[in-house]
Structure 1
Amino acid sequence: MKTLRFTILILLTCSLKASSAQTSVKKDSLVDYVLLKDQQKREDKVIRYIKGFFQNAPLSQLVDKKKAITDTFVKYNLEQRESILYFMESIYQRRLEKLQESQNALVRAIDEAHKSSDHLLLFDYFTHLAFVQTDEGNAIGAVSSYGLAKNEVKNLNDPYLEAVLNVNISDIYYKSGLYSQSLSYLNQAQRLIDDNKINRLNILSLITYNKAENYFRTQNYDSLKVCHEKLFGPKNRTYKLHTYQKRTGYYLTLLKRDYKGAIKQINDLLRDSLYVKGDLEGQMLADAYFSNGQTDSARYMIEKQLNLPSQKNHPEIRYHLYEVLGKIAERNNDEKLAAENFKLALGELKQNIDNLLQVGDKSSQLKINEVQSLYYVNLLRYERERLWMIFAIALAVLAVIVVAIFYRSSRQKRHYEQLLFAAKKQELATINSHEVRKHLSNILGLLDLVKDIETKEELLKIRKHLLYSAEELDKNVKNVSEKLSEMD
């Protein structure tokens, strides 16, 4: 009995260990993506996986993850492995803020993708290259890269990716202070989503948030409020949704000139673990401190922002920060410091204007390319419609000819029937006047002779002639009857 209990105990222990070991094994989603049969879906999932991890994971985990991903690609012999590994290296270097190294890795990824004309990867790579160039402050290069990405979208014929691209292009114009152009691209993206009935809630949230950013910069309180409320609706799904809602919330507070309330909101968000923080909060906090009369706090935040490596390539931001420093110095009656800061602001402004002029040239070329593309699309559509019209006209002419032939045949048939009827009528008249009347007259004449017959021989002779005429008359009557039946 003890042996049986001991055996049962061992079996239970083993089963519990097995079940715990089974539940502890986690399914590696990357492997699932790599094993997908559909190439475009596989590449899309793998690229999203890499971007999602390397953009959000702690820096301490990135090196080990790089090796694990590389080993997975080698193990399952992933197509376009070299190209995607270069892309991963680019994302990694961007996280380290080594923008030149990130760009170099991306150029290699593009070269590899070009070998097989992989349009989806090229779209992703050119888009990411534009992100890196934006970080570098190279707005001109970013616009060019977006133009190359737009060419790849045409080959893919994917309205969702085209909408994403328009959102990304809008960001360049937003950061350059060209808010109407930015909103124009966002509206184009919205139309693509609506016209093609694309149910992707993440991009709907992104479009709404980016519109809110533009409305805040143009101090359009009512439109900003509409976007803010829309972000709380059911049609939103993105890991940054909490950030979008909170940020547009303190934007509204700033536009209401409630600077004290805005300062509290921003500082609370900097302690919020769910809030995705960025350089933007530092800039907004500095402006709020300055507008609220807290010049020391404003100066501290501005100097902190100016020392950030991410801000060194953005003259449009540095111009504003130096300008605020100059105003703070003016308030403190330090004319020398004010002049120095305004001079620095002027230098950044000059650089920003130069960038805007070049961005304008590039964006004009992009617009020209879009118009040319639209012209060729419309030309092809016109050719197709012209061919369909020619085909329709040919069908209509053919139908008219067929109807005319049938009509002419019908008329000819009626004409020939009338001629045939007239001929048969004439034939019947001839039979009636010659054959029928002839034999009828013979019969009547023979009957008249019967009255004067005296001998039997003469009677028999007349009877013979009478019988012959009667038979001939009967034959002709039948002939007339048959011809009348044919006429009916």
Structure 2
Amino acid sequence: MVHVRASELDSVFVTRALQHNLPGVNDGDLARYLNTFFVKVPKSRIDNSRQRVFTYIKRYRANEGVAFKLFVNGIIQKRFFKYSKARVDFDRAITMAEKSRNHFLLYALQTNQAFIEAAVGNSAEAMVRYRLAQKQASLLDDIDRHILLAINISDLYYKNNLFRQAVQYLDQAQAMAGARRSSNFQHENFIYFNKVEIYFRQNRLDSLRKYKDLLSKRDKKTAGIYEFKKRASYLWSIAKKHHRKAIDQINTLRSDEKYPLSDEDLIYLADTYYKAGINDSAKKTIDHVVNTSPHNDNPFLRYHLYNMLGEIDMKDGDSVEASKKFKIALANLQTYTGHMVQVANISSEMKIDQIAADFIHKEEAYKRQRLVLIFIIVVSVLLIVITIIFYRGVKQRHYYEQLLHKAKHQELAFINSHEVRRHLSNILGLVSLVKQKNITDEKEQDRIINMLDDSATSLDTAIKNISEKLDN
């Protein structure tokens, strides 16, 4: 995981990532790094850092340069709440990334568009964008992006007071993270903190304390942990009805340079002022959020804030102003309800997409298993055939060896009966002749001796012939 330093661009990472020269790093990781960097970098260094990134893009990724430049510009516009301009940049980048089929960049672009739509209260359009991002994650078969997507969708449900659906998506993200742990994302930080906020809103103190304690045990260097711990701490104070303490905690964060104060913190502050009976401060804080916040188009947020203003006016005895505030709150509640119907429809379509994607994955897995099974069967059949051939070869060899042995035996028996015994009979006959007759004729003696010598030589040759055949 690359740690983003707020003031300094990691040129080595950016250039090597653009060249596809970092093992395990893809364009999704590069987009995430650029997103985080341009959100954190001091404003005075944005233009210089942007030009450096553009130079690297031109040098190492000219074919996709425009899409990446538009992505960076969109991130910067989003940082300064210039959402209309950011939308235009992201949409143009999406068109180009679709042509190059850069699914990692498309995922980053669609999730950023979803963030913008959620920020301005357009929950239905945000779900549409998340659905498109989900399709990119499915094409990539990337579990980490599915996890982050589930966390983001959960956050969208939470901000619209749909707590049960929010918890379901967080549980899904937690299950995926547990089944296939990743070193690239700090899933647990976001999951634990989102559950802290949900259980706070549901006033479930035991669950709130459980996840607050889990956050407190997390490594101080992990992503977002400082912000999450601080907010969990003041939410716990509010839940325990220690309102004055919570007000001091939030106001302290307003001057904390390490803490990125958001409208959500100010809304919690307004709520706490109201619960503590400090209505003037509550009203002042709400007016600040309503009049200056780029999120002031969120219908549920406006409903909540105007409803609170109406309650304050009622307590102050100003029924006319209270009626106006309640009327605005009701109009925003109706708008919110209409959005939620659309969200429900899109959510159903996303579930259908997920079921279809799961079916395709299972079908592909089945095909792979089927191919493996066919391969195993073919190999097994070949082994059986080879074994049979080998066995038959050994058996035939043994058979022919027996035939050869029998032939040799017959041949030796023939030699023994016809050659050895014949020569031996000649010798025995000549010896018997010599014993019976007293041969004095030298010629006769020579003739008998020659005959004995010929028979002995022939016998010796026959015996050697037998020895050679026995050796072979």
TM class by shorter chain equals 0.7 to 0.9
Q: CA deviation at 1:407?
A: 1.0
For residue 253 of structure 2, what is the aligned residue in structure 1? Answer: 269
Amino acid corresponding to residue 466 of structure 2 in structure 1: V
For residue 321 of structure 1, what is the aligned residue in structure 2? Answer: 305
Give, in whole Å, the separation in 2 of the partners of 1:474 and 1:97: 118
For residue 207 of structure 2, what is the aligned residue in structure 1? Answer: 223
Amino acid corresponding to residue 69 of structure 1 in structure 2: R
1:372-451 map, 5 Å:
372-451=356-435
Q: Give the number of the structure with larger relative contact order, counting CA–CA contacts within 8 Å between residues 6 or more apart.
A: 2
Give, in whole Å, the separation in 2 of the partners of 1:91 and 1:485: 93
Contact 2:113 2:129 in 1 (8 A): yes
Matched, 1:73 2:58: no
Identical-pair percentage: 35
Aligned pair partner of 1:141 in 112, 125, 144? 125
Give, in whole Å, the separation in 2 of the partners of 1:297 and 1:446: 150
Contact 2:50 2:72 in 1 (8 A): no
Residue-pair matches, total: 456
5+ residue gaps, structure 2: 1-6
Amino acid corresponding to residue 101 of structure 2 in structure 1: S
Contact 1:436 1:473 in 2 (8 A): yes
1:62-211 map, 5 Å:
65-66=46-47, 69-70=50-51, 73=54, 77=58, 79=62, 80-154=64-138, 156=140, 158-190=142-174, 193=177, 197-200=181-184, 203-211=187-195
For residue 458 of structure 2, what is the aligned residue in structure 1? Answer: 472
Give, in whole Å, the separation in 2 of the partners of 1:403 and 1:42: 49
Q: CA deviation at 1:42?
A: 9.9
Q: CA deviation at 1:406?
A: 1.2
User: After the TM superposition, which of the residue ranges 137-146 and 447-456 deviates more from structure 2?
Assistant: 447-456
Amino acid corresponding to residue 460 of structure 2 in structure 1: D
Normalised by the size of structure 1, how large is the TM-score?
A: 0.79
Contact 1:167 1:207 in 2 (8 A): yes
Note the alpha carbon deviations across 1:232-281, whole angstroms, 9 max, x for none.
33534357433221110111122223334323333333344433222222
For residue 482 of structure 1, what is the aligned residue in structure 2? Answer: 468
Q: CA deviation at 1:71?
A: 8.2
Contact 1:34 1:73 in 2 (8 A): no
Give, in whole Å, the separation in 1 of the partners of 2:65 and 2:430: 122
Give, in whole Å, the separation in 2 of the partners of 1:96 and 1:218: 32
Contact 2:153 2:169 in 1 (8 A): yes
Matched, 1:52 2:37: yes
SS class of match (1:230): helix
User: After the TM superposition, which of the residue ranges 199-208 and 163-172 deviates more from structure 2?
Assistant: 199-208
Distance 1:305-1:472 versus aligned 2 partners, 3 A rule = same
Aligned pair partner of 1:353 in 318, 337, 347? 337
Amino acid corresponding to residue 121 of structure 1 in structure 2: L
Contact 1:163 1:192 in 2 (8 A): yes
SS class of match (1:313): coil
Aligned pair partner of 1:213 in 191, 197, 201? 197
SS class of match (1:310): coil
Normalised by the size of structure 2, how large is the TM-score?
A: 0.82
Give, in whole Å, the separation in 2 of the partners of 1:239 and 1:401: 60
User: After the TM superposition, which of the residue ranges 229-238 and 170-179 deviates more from structure 2?
Assistant: 229-238
Q: CA deviation at 1:365?
A: 1.4
Amino acid corresponding to residue 399 of structure 1 in structure 2: L
Give, in whole Å, the separation in 2 of the partners of 1:425 and 1:477: 15
5+ residue gaps, structure 1: 1-26
Distance 1:399-1:36 versus aligned 2 partners, 3 A rule = closer
Aligned pair partner of 2:440 in 456, 467, 471? 456
Matched, 1:252 2:236: yes
Note the alpha carbon deviations across 1:395-440, whole angstroms, 9 max, x for none.
1111111111111111111112222222222232333333333333
Q: CA deviation at 1:368?
A: 1.6
Amino acid corresponding to residue 353 of structure 1 in structure 2: T
Give, in whole Å, the separation in 2 of the partners of 1:409 and 1:77: 70
Give, in whole Å, the separation in 1 of the partners of 2:415 and 2:381: 50
